[in-house]
Structure 1
């Protein structure tokens, strides 16, 4: 047996011996002076309760002292997240990933008082529906989001695909294509040929929408 183990064993034996002698002394006192022993036991019990309560209160006070540090951290995180969800210029939109861009457009749509809900729907099989907007009058609007760089423009094929899905597949009354870039000349020409042209929002239109909160369908 190691020296540390022997010390622990000796301390355990000493503790057991002490408790045994204490209990034996209490037994003798209770047999000899029952009233006095009961009074002493009651006082000890009350003292123990007071000590436990004070210890518990001290732990709660120490715990409260940590909250003022944690709360500002959570508040700063929430503010930064809200700022990230509400870009104010084109560079901020371009800094988002495609999913973040869809959520930012949904948030932008919700600023319109006529919008009941705007829900991001994008995915690998979204069939052209990135954000579904429901107006209070019952109309549904499909938004296709294109977070493109300045050299990558929305093409005529994109316009044709959106036009072919927003009514028959998604049951929407209107379609909007929003991009951080622009549209090719062919895309604009194709859109003018449609019986019900789509709403095309380029980077400049997006910043105007952001600044005024007036949606393109208003």
Structure 2
């Protein structure tokens, strides 16, 4: 009995609230009808502003989503270009290695990068412009780790630098430089990227940052001893 009484009371309260809402809505409609000539500009303006705001928010959100996807794609491309193991690089063809070097240059913000390697490459495999606008010419040599870069190959690159009118010459290899070739590179302002430095570049260091360690690494006595133990030369 008490439950039925409470249920009836709840129904009466709900009915009363509905009547109040209906009465309030009716009053609002009556006021709008009476004062429509006064309030319609404000209502129209509010509707227009609301629509413009909604459209602006939608455009902003769409732009953010597109930019976010673009950044993600660029990051994925950078990871693909910069996280190969040196064992994977050793298994590449010469052309694939040149394409990898070109991709790493683009990752670092270089512009107008193109591969020019081939039978008549005039001593260059990749050319382009550094982020600071300077032109660069790159020679790529994917040799076995036990090989050594001789000075004559760096002289060829120096000739390519003159031929292309480049501001910077870079020699990138999967092996090491002999002491005379390393000395030649330092004397003539060539950035000599040997295997250790290639590993750094491959894993995120920028090309220009390698200039700070040019002439260091596999050319010092400690690394030469390690190479001799590993490769017997």
Show the counterpart of 1:154: 149
1:6-25 paired onto structure 2 within 5 Å: none
- What number of residue pairs does the alignment pair up? 133
Gaps of 5+ in 1: 1-78
Using the size of structure 1 for normalisation, the TM-score is 0.56
Residue 183 (structure 1) aligned with residue 184 (structure 2): no
Whole-Å separation in 1 of the counterparts to 2:159 and 2:200: 28
Match 1:198 to one of 190, 212, 231: 190
Show the counterpart of 2:85: 89
**CA RMSD, 1 decimal:** 2.1
Whole-Å separation in 1 of the counterparts to 2:133 and 2:186: 26
Shift of residue 186 of structure 1?
1.3
Shift of residue 165 of structure 1?
2.3
Match 1:210 to one of 161, 180, 202: 202
Using the size of structure 2 for normalisation, the TM-score is 0.53
Show the counterpart of 1:53: none
C-alpha contact 1:119 1:131 (8 A) present in aligned 2:
yes
Shift of residue 117 of structure 1?
2.8
Bigger mean CA offset, 86-95 vs 178-187: 86-95
Evaluate the alpha carbon distance shift between residue 136 and residue 211 of structure 1 in structure 2; reply closer, same or farther with a 3 A threshold. Answer: closer
Shift of residue 163 of structure 1?
1.1
3-state secondary structure, aligned to 1:126: coil
Residue 128 (structure 1) aligned with residue 123 (structure 2): yes
Show the counterpart of 2:159: 164
Whole-Å separation in 2 of the counterparts to 1:184 and 1:132: 25
Gaps of 5+ in 2: 1-75, 212-233
Shift of residue 185 of structure 1?
1.1
Whole-Å separation in 1 of the counterparts to 2:82 and 2:182: 28
C-alpha contact 1:199 1:216 (8 A) present in aligned 2:
no
Shift of residue 87 of structure 1?
5.1
Evaluate the alpha carbon distance shift between residue 210 and residue 86 of structure 1 in structure 2; reply closer, same or farther with a 3 A threshold. Answer: closer
Whole-Å separation in 1 of the counterparts to 2:132 and 2:104: 19
